[in-house]
Structure 1
Amino acid sequence: MIIEKFNPDSRENKTNHLTTEFVVVGGGLAGVCAAISAARTGTQVILVQDRPVLGGNASSEVRLWALGATSHMGNNNRWSREGGVIDEIMLDNLRVNPEGNPLIFDTVLLDKVVAESNITLLLNTAAQQVHKSDDTTITRIDAFCSQNSTQYSISAPLFCDATGDGLVAFNAGAAFRIGAEAKTEFNELLASDEANTELLGHTLFFYSKKMNKPVSYSAPKFAYTQEEIGAIPRCGNIQGHDSGCKFWWIEFGGVKDTIYETEDIKWELWKIVYGIWDYIKNSGKFDDVDNLTLEWVGTVPGKRESRRFEGEYMLTQSDIVEQTEFSDAVSYGGWAIDIHPAEGIYSDRPACSQFHSKGVYQIPYRCFVSKDIDNLFYAGRIISASHMAFGSTRVMITCAHGGQAVGAAAAMCIQQNCSPKSLLAPQKMQELQQRLSAVAHGIPGITLDQSQNKAATATLSASSELALSTYESNGDYQQLCQSSAQLVPLQSGPAPLMAITVKATEATQLTCQLRTSSKPANYTPDEILKTIEIPVEVGEQCVSIDFSDVNVGDQYGFICFLANDAISLPLSDRLITGTLAVFNKVHKAVSNTGRQTPPPNSGIDEFELWTPERRPNGQNLAMTFSPPLAAFNVEQVVNGHVRPWLKANAWVSDLSDPQPRLTLTWPEEVTIEQIDMFFDSDSDHALETVLMEHPETVIPYCVQRYRIKTAEGKLIADVNDNHQTMNRLCLASPIQTQQIVIEFSHPSDHVPAALFGIEIH
């Protein structure tokens, strides 16, 4: 029993004094990835999160699907899903949560963080104040946990602000911006003529579900009336059975202070949301809603924009559109420049304007480093970017990818006792880039150095190598109602001869084109190398396509068939790493109408968008190649790329090979302590975390079963249930051998075993 007598003085809360090496404030995806990335290299990390769960806007409190460069697979960014820690998280979520349950995604994130012994997680703990030893150095932060009434004083040599509003950076005095720059400041032609304080607003989501009986609904008195809701022009977009983040356009607050007036904004959104539900249920304008009930309404709005902080470099519109190359690139983006009217739902303008780049763009390290505070990193939506560039960099998986780069940089600073800005020295920056590449982080154009890779010094041989001569038909045909293409890696020299069996309902012409991208590493087919018109008769027939008089380089080519409703093309269930079919189609979710037509003088490119189908669709076009495409040889597993980039960059076995295997042989014994293997988890496929359901728990291209043996038959590893891109096998004790053999099982009868890379240390 505790009895404490009256104290005339005010009492103080319990205070815990903590010291660590790296403090990450903010537990959204950017903060989570920064913390994990640093912790895995041995750095002691404290992760401070002011909410009861991790994930920020991706959490069960907000329930926005997490996306990045893949953009719902609605742009031309092929094989662009972000790698490293966030890739692990997304693939783990797919494994246990293909239905997109936000509560389960919470647990996936918690599992990932608590699995790291070097992370101390403080939930429900809000950072309140920053303390500095001098003008440019943070020494500690104060934070308070409302659940245990405990004050925390947390000291460290390095800090990362991943709070979204930049609470740490703001308290520390760092320079920031709110609003939009004038077009003249950075020559951003899409921007307004004059600078302004208009922002993107907040959104509050709601979920409904269908019951087995009618459910009545009476709106709360604070909700807007049906008449008021019906008078909002954008409410004409309402679909009665939509749910969750399909209501992303319920947006408000861009004309207010999105930091200090957030609670006011939330109340306005509550009035709108409950009013919309009343409108759906009781206006009589919607069919089949009697049995619907309101299952959940958010209590925390999803916030898009507030402060942006100034780093050593500020990313701009032209960096995205022109795909600027940076010597200090550590991350990348690929979401459209996505700008919303500040009035949100009350605007009579479109709910958003999205302008895509022709490919992914690099984000330099300097955008993550404060120009003012010497020991402060930025991660998430507050990084150093103009308002226009922020329209792309703000999305969650892009934020997460940058966050893990920050974590790796912080760990390197701790290990080498140096400052964040010192990593800008060329040698140190190259080391940071290599550290990231070694964990399949994926920086466009940066290869993994092979000089220390023992696999690169071995003689490589394979039981088979795919020579792609045919995508076998499954018997199904698809009407050519939209232009379609097979995307394949070409090799320098004459283009191969091709053939395809087509069906025609009338005598007509099949128009075929060989296209490539004007930037070889892109997947925007903006260069037409040759067009062929082929007469087609009624019925089924095989047609030959001869592009052999065209010389091509080492890059991807599009074998295009232009739309013709009278023709149908055959499909194949055969899935081959580094190849897929794409279509010049409409994708409304990302403002894709098949062709991007920007406003005049906006600095945005005009081009066609060719995008894939999602599984369970996503079949290839059944066609043949002569000579076969010899683009999948074993030497590619040590070329430093671990995803398609200019070419497939993968060894692919022949599907008829009953036991695919790689053999690595050295002239003399080598010592092996660690083996890293990089598999195909289809980085082209978007893995939205909530609401959208996925048809599988393991990516169908991914090798799930493999064994590694020495020449003497000693079993090194026996893996039976892999679902991840990267497998790191740390041996209990080093082994010495002159040869290892890796045996693979094909992922399925339609998918041959493939491997992007192997690193042996």
Structure 2
Amino acid sequence: MIYSKGGISRTLKNEVVTADLAVVGGGMSGVCAAITAARQGLRVVLVQDRSVLGGNASSEVRLWILGATSHMGNNNRWSREGGVIDEILVENVYRNPEGNAVILDMILLDKVKQEPNIRLLLNTSVYEVHKEADERIKSLTAFCSQNSTQYTLESSLFCDASGDGIIGFLSGAAFRMGAETREEFDEAMAPDTSYGELLGHTLYFYTKDVGKSVSYTAPAFAMDVTKEIPRFKNFNAKEHGCKLWWVEYGGRLDTVHDTEEIKWELWKIIYGVWDYIKNSGQFPEADTLTLEWVGMVPGKRESRRFEGDYILTQKDVVEQRQHPDAVAYGGWSIDLHPADGVFSDRQPCNQWHSKGIFHIPYRCLYSRNIQNLFLAGRLISVSHVAFGATRVMATCAYVAQAVAVAAKLCIQHQLAPREVGQSYYMTELQKELQRVGQYIPGFHLSDNSDLVQQAELTSSSNLDFKGFFKENILWKNLDISAAQLLPVVAGALPIFLLEIEAMQPTILEVELRSSERKGGFTPDQELGKIKISLKRGIQTVTLDFGLKIYEDQYVFLTFLQNKHVRLAYTPQRISGLLSVFNGVNKAVSNNGKQVALSGSGVDSFEFWTPQRRPEGHNLAIQLSSGLSVFGIENVRNGIDRPAIRPNAWVAATDDQQPIISIKWKQKQCIRRIEISFDTDWDHAMESVLMTHPETVMPFCIRNYSIEDGNGKIIYTQRANFQTRNVIELPEPCVTDELTISLEHPSPDVPAAVFAIRCYA
């Protein structure tokens, strides 16, 4: 029994938590920063003011995680983000292909709790910053509402991944809020005041069909959307969740301090929308639907943006400017919304795409005036316009992973975040990022500690690609222009052959295109053109462009739309090969072609995008000579996804027992082996609401084993589904040879490996 007399003052229970890195904010950015830092050996405290992790991706908000892939609706091929965010998305598809946000909550909590170096504080809000000098943070004070405990968080480094920037704000870090003028950064897309300077918040709702008639009585505060919302006719009974992203409000208010007011206005809208759907008589299909869930926490888009040593701008994004200190990339469109949101009579967003992915430099990821403060997530150092492209969750998480590895270098070498930008340390940072799966466009991993670099590599076979299977042909109409992406090498271009069916005599136009930008996937450069007279029926067409290619690159063998023609496709899939279509994806403002407005500072170009499985078959092309681009040397070239080349070793399709052999002249002591597989870097893997057609990517090797030079099996894997397998051997393996025996993923997909690395 506890008994206390009144009349005395009391203090809260206080606990001091000491860490190498304090991460504030448990959204996707904070989660990926914390896990990455913990795996780098840092002691991490992760502070989240909500009861679940994930932020806008969690069950509290329920927005899908997206980044450079942009719903597979842009020209950013093989661009899904790597590292921890990839690991989470791949696992979510495996365990949660239906996109249940509650299951994603569990996956995130599970990932964090598996890391012994992370101290997780949920329901804990930071409210005070203590500084040991004007430009240096000493500690934070936070309060947990559930256990009535005050925490003092002591660390040498702090990462603000809180969205609104609570640490940055309280510490005095320089920040911006609202849009810059066009003149400040020469940004043609900088909005005027009629459009507004901030993006608003959104709340979502879910519906459920209960199989019987359901009535609905709206609360008194519900809004009459037919009178107050110009776009009320856009509402329908079929869409719910984050497909209603455009139900937005608050861009004219203070998106930090007015959040509760904004939330109430969104509640009025949501309950009024449901009243309109259920009781207007316009939606008989809604009779058996009930309102299952309404968000309690608004999904925030924009508030404070903090200043680093560099501010990313529109021209960095559109021109895809190269930065020597690049540590991450983005690829979402410049996606700006009218500040009046759902009350605006303008279109709900303006999405302007770049031709490819763009660098995010390290200089954007730390405060310019607070010495030990890292920036992560949506609050990094960008202009309002560039923010339209960097604010999405997968991009935010990717940036956060770079911060975590930089923090390791700071601790290891006693550096301030700014000092990591020096050339020597920057090289180390980029190398370590690539080692843990963080692809940086234009960079390749050069790692002398990787024992594979000094080994002799052989394989049981290498695919010499001369065309796809001729069996099980699928015939598809050429209703929209289609193309096959093919990785060609310098030299004479092969002759292509393809079976085509014409419904009537017609002229088929075929073009060979490439990207004007090296490593890009926008087919904006015509290399050659052929017109073919087709007779009615099935015929084999020979395509000889008579061209010489001067450097390795991907080309687009392009068949222009002809409704009288059918093309032959194959169920065979091969890593680094892909068909694309000049189609439409309204979800990301893709109408087949982007036509830039005069003076907008963006490019006009066509979209050539893949189809989602189970579609997305390759064109059944045959080649006069093989493309020798899938050799075993690819596993140590330092690029773990298709770029200018496929960068994958692929076994021959008739190789019944694919094997990779790694031999050294002298015995090596091996403690760790890392293997990177193909989990389809082109698949967006939206985390919630959408349903995915498979739980394991069709290219991914599921079963393999590793033997030492004496034939002893030192590791066996069954049912793999992840991109990176990091194998920590229980005992060091001393050997002069490793043999990796692999199984083909399926009869239609040959075995492929992007990278193998071994460490002492």
Question: 1:17 and 1:738 mapped to 2: Cα distance?
Answer: 50
**C-alpha contact 1:490 1:556 (8 A) present in aligned 2:** yes
Q: Which residue pairs with 1:5 in the alignment?
A: 5
Pick closer, same or farther for the CA change 1:287–1:501 going to 2, 3 Å.
farther
Question: 2:235 and 2:499 mapped to 1: Cα distance?
Answer: 44
1:84-129, Cα deviation, whole Å (9 max, x unpaired): 0100001111110000000000011001100000000000000001
1:653-694, Cα deviation, whole Å (9 max, x unpaired): 012111001111122222212111111111110000000000
**C-alpha contact 2:310 2:364 (8 A) present in aligned 1:** yes
**C-alpha contact 2:473 2:571 (8 A) present in aligned 1:** no
Q: Which residue pairs with 1:627 in the alignment?
A: 625
Q: Which residue pairs with 2:318 in the alignment?
A: 321
- 3-state DSSP class of the match of 1:24? strand
Q: Which residue pairs with 1:710 in the alignment?
A: 708
Question: 1:407 and 1:424 mapped to 2: Cα distance?
Answer: 14
Q: Which residue pairs with 1:303 in the alignment?
A: 300
Is 1:345 aligned with 2:379? Answer: no
Paired residues for 1:627-666 under 5 Å = 627-666=625-664
- The AA in structure 2 aligned to 1:3 is Y
- The AA in structure 1 aligned to 2:297 is V
Post-superposition offset of 1:212: 1.4
Question: 1:121 and 1:452 mapped to 2: Cα distance?
Answer: 33
Question: 1:550 and 1:501 mapped to 2: Cα distance?
Answer: 24
1:380-428, Cα deviation, whole Å (9 max, x unpaired): 0000000000000000000000011111111221122211111011010
Paired residues for 1:80-229 under 5 Å = 80-192=79-191, 198-225=197-224, 228-229=225-226
Q: Could you say what the CA RMSD is over the residues aligned between the two structures, in angstroms?
A: 1.2
Is 1:292 aligned with 2:289? Answer: yes
Question: 1:300 and 1:421 mapped to 2: Cα distance?
Answer: 35
Post-superposition offset of 1:194: 7.2
**C-alpha contact 1:63 1:245 (8 A) present in aligned 2:** yes
- 3-state DSSP class of the match of 1:525? coil
Q: What is the aligned counterpart of 1:281 among 278, 282, 286?
A: 278
Q: Which residue pairs with 2:34 in the alignment?
A: 35
1:52-108, Cα deviation, whole Å (9 max, x unpaired): 000000000000001000000000000000000100001111110000000000011
- 3-state DSSP class of the match of 2:541? strand
- 3-state DSSP class of the match of 2:509? strand
- The AA in structure 1 aligned to 2:58 is S
Post-superposition offset of 1:570: 1.1
**C-alpha contact 1:93 1:105 (8 A) present in aligned 2:** yes
Q: Which residue pairs with 2:726 in the alignment?
A: 728
- 3-state DSSP class of the match of 2:378? coil
Q: Which residue pairs with 2:446 in the alignment?
A: 449
- 3-state DSSP class of the match of 1:392? helix
Q: Which moved more, 1:286-295 or 1:298-307?
A: 286-295
- The AA in structure 2 aligned to 1:251 is E
Q: Which moved more, 1:381-390 or 1:235-244?
A: 235-244
Post-superposition offset of 1:733: 1.9
Is 1:398 aligned with 2:398? Answer: no
Question: 2:328 and 2:281 mapped to 1: Cα distance?
Answer: 50
**C-alpha contact 1:182 1:194 (8 A) present in aligned 2:** no
1:724-744, Cα deviation, whole Å (9 max, x unpaired): 111111112222212111100
Question: 2:189 and 2:739 mapped to 1: Cα distance?
Answer: 55
Post-superposition offset of 1:622: 1.0
Post-superposition offset of 1:547: 1.9
- 3-state DSSP class of the match of 1:711? coil
Q: Which residue pairs with 2:750 in the alignment?
A: 752
Q: Which residue pairs with 1:468 in the alignment?
A: 465
TM-score, normalization: structure 2? 0.98
Pick closer, same or farther for the CA change 1:476–1:194 going to 2, 3 Å.
same
Q: Which residue pairs with 2:519 in the alignment?
A: 521
Post-superposition offset of 1:460: 1.1
- 3-state DSSP class of the match of 1:703? coil
Q: Which residue pairs with 1:691 in the alignment?
A: 689
Question: 2:660 and 2:482 mapped to 1: Cα distance?
Answer: 35
Q: Which residue pairs with 1:363 in the alignment?
A: 360
Pick closer, same or farther for the CA change 1:398–1:296 going to 2, 3 Å.
same
Pick closer, same or farther for the CA change 1:303–1:83 going to 2, 3 Å.
same
TM-score, normalization: structure 1? 0.98
**C-alpha contact 1:178 1:197 (8 A) present in aligned 2:** no
Post-superposition offset of 1:553: 2.0
Q: What is the aligned counterpart of 1:415 among 412, 418, 429?
A: 412
Question: 1:220 and 1:655 mapped to 2: Cα distance?
Answer: 63
- 3-state DSSP class of the match of 2:286? coil
- The AA in structure 2 aligned to 1:351 is P
Question: 1:157 and 1:664 mapped to 2: Cα distance?
Answer: 43
**C-alpha contact 1:28 1:58 (8 A) present in aligned 2:** yes
Question: 2:427 and 2:87 mapped to 1: Cα distance?
Answer: 24
Post-superposition offset of 1:231: 4.9
- 3-state DSSP class of the match of 1:288? helix
Query: Any stretches of 5+ residues in structure 1 without a counterpart?
Result: none
Q: Which moved more, 1:527-536 or 1:447-456?
A: 447-456
1:207-241, Cα deviation, whole Å (9 max, x unpaired): 0011111111111111013xx43552212211211
**C-alpha contact 1:450 1:638 (8 A) present in aligned 2:** no
**C-alpha contact 2:195 2:338 (8 A) present in aligned 1:** no
Paired residues for 1:481-520 under 5 Å = 481-520=479-518
Question: 2:43 and 2:547 mapped to 1: Cα distance?
Answer: 60
**C-alpha contact 1:478 1:569 (8 A) present in aligned 2:** yes
Question: 2:349 and 2:491 mapped to 1: Cα distance?
Answer: 44
Q: What is the aligned counterpart of 2:371 among 365, 374, 377?
A: 374
Is 1:576 aligned with 2:574? Answer: yes
Question: 1:247 and 1:96 mapped to 2: Cα distance?
Answer: 25
- The AA in structure 1 aligned to 2:520 is N
**C-alpha contact 1:709 1:717 (8 A) present in aligned 2:** yes
- 3-state DSSP class of the match of 1:95? helix
Pick closer, same or farther for the CA change 1:458–1:320 going to 2, 3 Å.
same
Post-superposition offset of 1:470: 1.7
**C-alpha contact 2:32 2:84 (8 A) present in aligned 1:** yes
**C-alpha contact 2:87 2:723 (8 A) present in aligned 1:** yes
Query: Any stretches of 5+ residues in structure 2 without a counterpart?
Result: none
**C-alpha contact 2:195 2:339 (8 A) present in aligned 1:** no
Q: Which moved more, 1:131-140 or 1:464-473?
A: 464-473
Question: 2:465 and 2:236 mapped to 1: Cα distance?
Answer: 45
Post-superposition offset of 1:560: 0.3
Question: Number of paired residues?
Answer: 758
Q: Which residue pairs with 1:47 in the alignment?
A: 46
Is 1:244 aligned with 2:246? Answer: no
Is 1:459 aligned with 2:442? Answer: no
- 3-state DSSP class of the match of 1:302? coil
Question: 2:432 and 2:62 mapped to 1: Cα distance?
Answer: 32
Question: 2:424 and 2:113 mapped to 1: Cα distance?
Answer: 34
- The AA in structure 1 aligned to 2:519 is A
Question: 2:130 and 2:435 mapped to 1: Cα distance?
Answer: 36
Question: 1:371 and 1:197 mapped to 2: Cα distance?
Answer: 27
Is 1:546 aligned with 2:544? Answer: yes
Post-superposition offset of 1:472: 2.0
- The AA in structure 1 aligned to 2:255 is T
**C-alpha contact 2:512 2:529 (8 A) present in aligned 1:** yes
Paired residues for 1:429-444 under 5 Å = 429-444=426-441
Post-superposition offset of 1:196: 9.1
- 3-state DSSP class of the match of 2:556? strand
- The AA in structure 2 aligned to 1:189 is A
Is 1:59 aligned with 2:51? Answer: no
- 3-state DSSP class of the match of 2:342? helix
- The AA in structure 1 aligned to 2:402 is A
Post-superposition offset of 1:549: 2.6
